[in-house]
């Protein structure tokens, strides 16, 4: 009987220690509200991914870690948003990875025109060593990488005429993101690129300050650019991985339990967001076809586009980490060899 009592007491003590450990662990998660700003509307796959991240983080933290979303560029364009993260006045954003070249030059390689043939090639690069090395470069820039989302292939719209061949690009005033490689790419193609923050694009198109812009189908549809643009040309000139990033100042105030929950939510939201993007592209293109004149670029003509922008790629590649650029092309080659 004495031995039985000792066994029961020992078990009770062990259970108490275990429960105490669980309670202690739960207490590590503190009440916080993280501010998450992005450029697209909340219905866009970017917005859906942000909402999924918010829902997952709330669920995993028992409602302690909340995320407040600021869609539609309401807190400014990407450049302003990144600056706000670095200053600690904003917590999280997601944006085209190439824009981060202003912080870490090697990100420009993800915006090489006509680099990827499909999303699988892009994922092989950003989910592997290349993506990891790029994200690590943000640590000294006041930013922390949480993963990579998809925006899809960028295509061209304008109000003047269909772009079916290289000559059709001549003289078009095209809004581009505030990135040197975009400026030089469209200059090489014969257009007049106009750097402009995304929240200003619709008004610029409506007032004919610019003739056109370039974005994936879902962005064109979600932001109703078809209301102020007549022609859509399927150029597929750049595939946009997106970087999900958090302020280093915010990150440094989190404990390891909170960081782990954010990493988990980010990983699950990444998978979901990519699936939503893939499913949304064909639907968005079909919707746009009912509202705009849509034309495809022939493979032969696309080769002319590629040839014209190759000097731009060569120029930027020289200023980047040669080993990292080679690693990127090697990853792409592996995917193509397996297809």
Tell me how far CA of residue 7 lies from CA of 10, 18, 196, in angstroms.
5, 16, 73
CA nearest neighbour of 34 among 16, 15, 61 = 61
Query: Element (H or E) spanning 13, and its range?
Result: helix 2-27
Tell me how far CA of residue 81 lies from CA of 11, 35, 45, 116, in angstroms.
54, 11, 19, 27
**Coil, helix or strand at residue 254:** coil
Q: What is the per-residue pLDDT for 178?
A: 86
What is the rounded CA–CA span in Å between residue 298 and residue 190? 19
Domain ranges of the chain: 30-338
What is the rounded CA–CA span in Å between residue 13 and residue 26? 20
Pairing between strand 173-176 and 212-215?
Answer: parallel
At 246, phi and psi to the nearest 5? -125, 150
What is the rounded CA–CA span in Å between residue 35 and residue 85? 10
* Alpha-carbon 29 to chain mean position: 28
**Coil, helix or strand at residue 249:** helix
Superfamily of domain 30-338: Bacterial extracellular solute-binding protein, family 7 (3.40.190.170)
Here the tokens at position 253 are 């105030």
Tens digit of each residue's pLDDT, the chain (339 residues): 444 434 434 444 444 444 343 333 444 899 999 999 999 999 999 999 999 999 999 999 999 999 999 999 999 999 999 999 999 999 999 999 999 999 999 999 999 999 999 999 999 999 999 999 999 999 999 999 999 999 999 999 999 999 999 999 999 999 999 889 999 999 999 999 999 999 999 999 999 999 999 999 999 999 999 999 999 999 999 999 999 999 999 999 999 999 999 999 999 999 999 999 999 999 999 999 999 999 999 999 999 999 999 999 999 999 999 999 999 999 999 999 998
């Amino acid at each position: 009987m004495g031995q039985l009592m000792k066994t029961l007491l020992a078990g009770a003590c062990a259970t108490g220690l275990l429960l105490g450990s669980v309670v202690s662990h739960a207490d590590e998660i503190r009440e916080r509200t993280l501010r998450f700003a992005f450029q697209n509307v909340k219905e866009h796959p970017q917005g859906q991914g942000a909402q999924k991240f918010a829902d997952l983080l709330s669920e995993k933290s028992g409602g302690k870690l909340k995320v407040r979303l600021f869609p539609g560029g309401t807190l400014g364009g990407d450049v302003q948003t990144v600056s706000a993260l670095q200053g600690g006045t904003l917590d999280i954003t997601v944006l085209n990875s190439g824009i981060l070249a202003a912080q870490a030059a090697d990100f420009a390689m993800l915006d090489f025109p006509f680099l990827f043939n499909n999303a699988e090639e892009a994922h092989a690069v950003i989910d592997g060593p290349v993506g990891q090395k790029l994200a690590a470069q943000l640590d000294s820039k006041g930013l922390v990488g949480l993963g990579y989302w998809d925006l899809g292939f960028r295509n061209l719209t304008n109000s003047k005429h269909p772009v079916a061949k290289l000559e059709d690009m001549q003289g078009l005033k095209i809004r581009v993101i505030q990135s040197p490689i975009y400026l030089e790419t469209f200059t090489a193609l014969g257009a007049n690129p106009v750097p402009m923050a995304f929240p200003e694009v619709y008004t610029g198109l409506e007032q004919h300050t610019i003739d056109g812009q370039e974005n994936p189908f879902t962005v064109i549809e979600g932001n109703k650019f078809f209301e102020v643009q007549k022609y859509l040309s399927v150029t597929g000139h750049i595939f946009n991985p997106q970087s999900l990033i958090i302020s280093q100042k915010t990150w440094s105030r989190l404990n390891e339990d909170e960081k782990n929950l954010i990493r988990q939510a980010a990983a699950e939201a990444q998978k979901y967001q990519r699936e939503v993007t893939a499913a949304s592209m064909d639907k968005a293109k079909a919707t746009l076809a009912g509202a705009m004149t849509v034309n495809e670029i022939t493979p032969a003509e696309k080769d002319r586009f590629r040839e014209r922008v190759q000097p731009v790629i060569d120029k930027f590649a020289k200023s980047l980490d040669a080993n990292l650029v080679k690693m990127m092309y090697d990853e792409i080659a592996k995917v193509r060899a397996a297809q």
